Amino acid sequence: MSVHRPHFLISNDDGIHAPGIAHLAELLRKMGDVTLVAPDGPRSGASSQITTTLPLKLIKMRDEEGYQVYRCSGTPADCVKLALNVLFPKNQRPDLVVTGINHGRNDGICVIYSGTVGAAIEGCIAGIPSLAISVNDHGEDAEMRYAIAYAEPIVRWMLHNELPLHTLLSLNLPIEKPLGLRIAPQAVGRFMDEFVHGTNASGNPVYWMAGKQTKTEDTPDTDFDFLEMGYATLTPIRIDMTDRATLAQLEASFSDQKILL
């Protein structure tokens, strides 16, 4: 009797040559077939941006049994969207979309900006279980052993357990060996001191993005809190961002359309 071999679609926002995605591919190739589609250069902060005014280029870089690698001229979300529409037959889909391993944390408000999370969201939109993986280290030589150790059992769990439709998982790891894993909600926050002023060669002002994330709500035990304490965090994220409580309030306020006249 044949045993189903899972097929993984992987992408990132650091680009095709980033060490993190190479480590991720190495892990998942031991578990199943892998199709890797990543941007041809860094696309950090791309969120769920898609390309609508330019044609996309998709170039095959490697083709082995159970392992295909492509670089794409678009965004992380483009990579996943294009792969699902072009590389997979209509009657075949990947078992899992896995993105990362990102060089830099994607907890709290970073979820809104992250291209790595954006690529996972694209898989989620298509109804495919999706996982984003990030490490709180922006260096190219970031330690990935701990990310692999935590990612593997989560991937195996996702292959045998159903998530709610349109819910993805985001795994964040600290810069050093985690104290353990915490299941935690996303923190609400913002960046402070977001730009550093400078001048270009012509003496004109320029502004470099910088800043540091801070919480703006007092909710305890969030992904931000545990990551700061040295834990790995796993957070379920829904693509439905409706505020249900305010929805009821608006229905009560605007049920009489005369208020709009």
pLDDT tens, per residue, the chain with 261 residues: 457 899 999 999 999 999 999 999 999 999 999 999 999 998 988 889 899 999 999 999 999 999 999 999 999 999 999 999 999 988 899 999 999 999 999 999 899 999 999 999 999 999 999 999 999 998 878 889 999 999 999 999 999 999 999 999 999 999 999 999 999 999 988 878 778 899 999 989 898 878 788 888 888 999 999 999 999 999 999 999 999 889 988 888 887 765 655
Q: What is the model's pTM?
A: 0.92
Please, what sign has the CA dihedral across residues 176, 178, 182, 183?
Answer: positive
So what's the pLDDT on residue 257? 65
Look-up of token digits 């892998």:
34
Please, what sign has the CA dihedral across residues 242, 160, 136, 119?
Answer: negative
Q: Is the peptide bond before 101 cis (omega within 30 degrees of 0)?
A: yes
Q: Nearest CA to 174 among 209, 150, 192, 210? A: 150
So what's the pLDDT on residue 1? 47
